[in-house]
Amino acid sequence: MSHPDTCCACGIPVHSAENRRVRRCDICLPLGKHPPVHKRSNIRTLIHAWCSRTSEHTARSRFVDLRHFFGFVLGEPTPPPSTPANERAAALVLKLLNTSSAHAERVVLLYIETQAGLYADSTIARRIKTLRSWARYLHGKQASLCDLGDVPCIPATKRGDAAPAPPHEEVDAQRLSPAAKTRAQQFIAARNKTIATVLAHSPLNRSGLLYLDWKAVDFSESTTSDDGTTTPTHVLARVQVPGRDGRLLWRHLGHQATRALKHWSRVYTRRFGATLPDRPIIAALSGERLSKTHFYELADLDRAH
């Protein structure tokens, strides 16, 4: 009985029954196996040296990118963060680089093609830069055959292009009536602009803004006159953030960030009725907190501009 050819993730047709079962060619088949014990320490040493001069956030992002690529190559969900998962993902890339230059580049190019439309161009570019950085480091240590130097990075979206909504929000918006769809798109556009402005003109970092709730925002301060009356004074908005010792501290926003957040509060109220204290400021169309993946994509896209 003849079987139609099945292609591996790298695009190479597979013919044998065993290869068709796992959908892996002879080159990719061994990539998913754990590296031998005597090599695990070598991978750990290489990873440590590769990330030794980077910030904790950069190192964490690098491992996220490697694990995402790992899931793509093996056709599995992206593994959760852990030291063994980071080492296994890094080892898989090393194995891939030692198959052949042409094969490694083919897999990475296919990875780029499959990610287009699912993630922002800047996110794809960052992931490819991570792969190239790891490959270049390994090649410099004479641990791999190629450095992926011929693999292009996806260019970031040009200035003036509208920031794409996350895929699930696009799907939700398409199901709405024309009028509701327009309101949803206006909501998304206002939210994305708020993210960009607040990050650019306030002491908040990305994590601080993502997990900020309305109860931690104050748009006015009160002054008490000699006769005992209390009058609100409209000044720069302030937000409550945790300090290094765990105590909550107030931090003032800039003028542009204050205006952006006040405008966003009106947009938010029109959609959800009120800015309830325990609700997230950066919300999806459903009112739930925007996922970390989508939030970072939007923040990275604006920074790339």
- Could you tell me the residue ranges of all domains in the chain? 6-140, 167-304
How far, CA to CA in Å, does 296 sit from each of 99, 181, 204, 206, 284? 33, 24, 14, 7, 14
Q: Is the pTM of this model over 0.85?
A: no
Q: 63-67, 176-180, 206-210, 261-265: lowest mean pLDDT where?
A: 176-180
Does the pLDDT value for residue 193 go beyond 80?
yes
**DSSP for residue 32:** G
Average pLDDT over residues 213-225: 75
How far, CA to CA in Å, does 219 sit from each of 194, 236, 238, 300? 16, 7, 7, 27
Does the pLDDT value for residue 1 go beyond 50?
no
Sign, CA torsion 195/201/202/203: positive
Residue 175, phi then psi, degrees to nearest 5: -85, -10
**Helix-strand-coil split of the chain, %, nearest 5:** 55, 10, 35
Average pLDDT over residues 23-45: 59
Task: Tell which residue, 17, 11, 115, has the closest CA to residue 71.
Answer: 115
Task: Tell which residue, 158, 76, 164, 161, has the closest CA to residue 119.
Answer: 164
Residue 156 has what pLDDT? 43
* CATH fold for domain 167-304: hpI Integrase; Chain A (1.10.443)
Residue 260 has what pLDDT? 92
